[in-house]
Amino acid sequence: MNDQEMYSSIYDIVQKNAVDAGSELETSKDCFLCITASEPSRVDVLKLSEEKDNMTFLRKAYICMLKRIVDPAALESWKLSADLSPEEFQLRCVNGLKLSEEFFLTHVKLENNIYATNNPVTGAPAAAPGSSVTMPEKLMRMYRKMPDFMKKAARRVMGVR
């Protein structure tokens, strides 16, 4: 029995126990196996993009990139884009999550990112200057504590108006 088969069996046992107790797991078996197959601090975007169902991709991306399940409000918001082509949806999803402060704080590295902001094929938007993606968290904490006039000067130096 390989690791994935073992994790699959564990999921089945836990899901059965949850159903017997009148509940169910908050994530699908597919998403659970996706997180068990990846390294904790790395996400292979190319492999993740093999998923063609937009909502399943979203759930997998949240688990792998943010290390949590999709919250109900975010799920409802993403459902508005569910009818996009898988490529467009995945582009928006990966770049949206990648630009979030929450992703920055997870210290997850994206590998084989076919949706990279420096990828001229996708035309993905670049990270905003002065965002948490372009500035280390230590600098962001310092910036947040600055008085308004200093924040304005810092934004001007960073090229943000």
Q: What is the CA radius of gyration of the chain?
A: 19
Dist CA 66 CA 141 (whole Å): 20
Domain ranges of the chain: 1-27, 38-126, 128-161
| pLDDT of res. 98 | 92
Dist CA 60 CA 38 (whole Å): 11
Dist CA 35 CA 63 (whole Å): 7
Dist CA 108 CA 125 (whole Å): 20
Sign of CA dihedral 80, 81, 84, 86: negative
147 token code pair? 């008085």
Element at 109 (helix H, strand E): strand 109-111
Per-residue pLDDT tens listing for the chain (161 residues): 788 899 999 999 999 999 999 998 888 888 888 888 878 889 999 999 999 999 999 999 999 999 999 999 999 999 999 999 999 999 999 999 998 889 988 889 998 888 886 544 444 454 454 444 455 667 777 878 889 888 888 777 766 65
Dist CA 50 CA 63 (whole Å): 16
